[in-house]
Amino acid sequence: MENTKILGYIAYEGPSIIDGAPIVVIVNKIDGSKNAKTGAIVQSFIIRSDINPVEALQTGADESICGQCEHRPKLARESGAAPCYVQVAKSVLSVYNAYKRGRYVKADAATIAAALAGKIVRIGTYGDGAAAPVTMWNQITRYAAGRRGYTHQWDTIGFDVESWAPLVMASADTIDQAAKANLLGMRVFRVSQGIDVQPGEAVCPASAEAGRKSTCAKCTLCSGTSIKARDIVIADHAAGHARRTIAIVAT
C-alpha cells in the first residue's frame, strides 16, 4: 500500500446482480463529501473491477453497474435521451485508479457499519446500488443516520421491491414510469423537463428551482419507503437539458 491513510473501504467484490460480470463497491469519503448540493454524505461507487470506467462507458460494459438505464452514455447516444451527468473521467476514474493502487481497505460488513455509524450514506454515487446485493447494503448501513439512493432497476424482472423500497427511490423519467413505480410499492424520484409538479410530488429542496433550500444530507425525503412523504421531482440538469426543455415547450 502506498499510503497508510485509509481513503475508504471495499464493501463488495463479486458478480454483478445485473449480468454477473465482476464489480466492486467502494465506500469513499467516510468523512463526508464537500459537494455543495449533497452536503456531508458518505459516497459509494459501484464500478467494474476489471475495466477502466471510461472504457466501460465507451464500450457499453457499464451495463454491469447501470443495467438498461436510458442515461447510460452508449444508450443515450442511440436514443437521444439525456446522458448521465456524472463526469466519469474525473471522480470515478480517480476512485478506480486508487482501487487498483490498493488505496482502499477490504473490510467485513461489521467494520464498515461501525465506520458509517451516525453518518448519511449515498447508495450509488456512481452506478446503481442494485447491481450489488441488497443484504450487503443493509449490513453496512445498519447504524447509519440515513440513506439516500436511487435505482433504475425497479422495472426489471426479478427486482425485489420489498427489500429495496425502504432503501432507495425509484428513478423515473416520465409521469407514467412514476405511476408504475408507485403501483409496485416504490417512492419515486422523477426527473422532469421543465417544472411540472404532479399531485403527490414535491420539488427537490436541494435543487436550483427550489432555491437550494437544503442539502441531501439535511433533507430526509430521498429515503425510500422508510419514511412517509411525497415523491420528489427535479428539473433535468444533465448535459443538453436546455435543448430538451425547449423541444418540449415547442411541442
Strand locations in 177-226, DSSP E?
A: 188-192, 201-203
pLDDT at 246: 35
Q: What is the mean pLDDT of residues 86-93?
A: 93
Among 139, 111, 140, which Cα is nearest to 42's? Answer: 140
Residue 236 pLDDT > 90, yes or no? Answer: no
pLDDT digits (tens, 9 = 90+) for 119-150: 999 999 999 999 999 999 999 999 999 999 99
Residue 238 pLDDT > 60, yes or no? Answer: no
Q: What secondary structure, in 3-state letters, does 82-126 show?
A: CCCCCCHHHHHHHHHHHHHCCCEEECCHHHHHHHCCCCEEEECCE
The C-alpha cell at 229 is 412523504
Burial class (CB in 10 A: 0-12, 13-18, 19+), 137: buried
Distance in angstroms (rounded) separating the CA atoms of residues 100 and 95: 9
DSSP assignment of 115-180:
HTTTSEEEE-SBS-GGGS-HHHHHHHTTT-SEEEEEESGGGSTT--HHHHTTT-EEEESSHHHHHH
pLDDT at 78: 85
Q: What is the mean pLDDT of residues 19-26?
A: 98
Select the highest-mean-pLDDT range: 36-50, 71-85, 157-171: 157-171
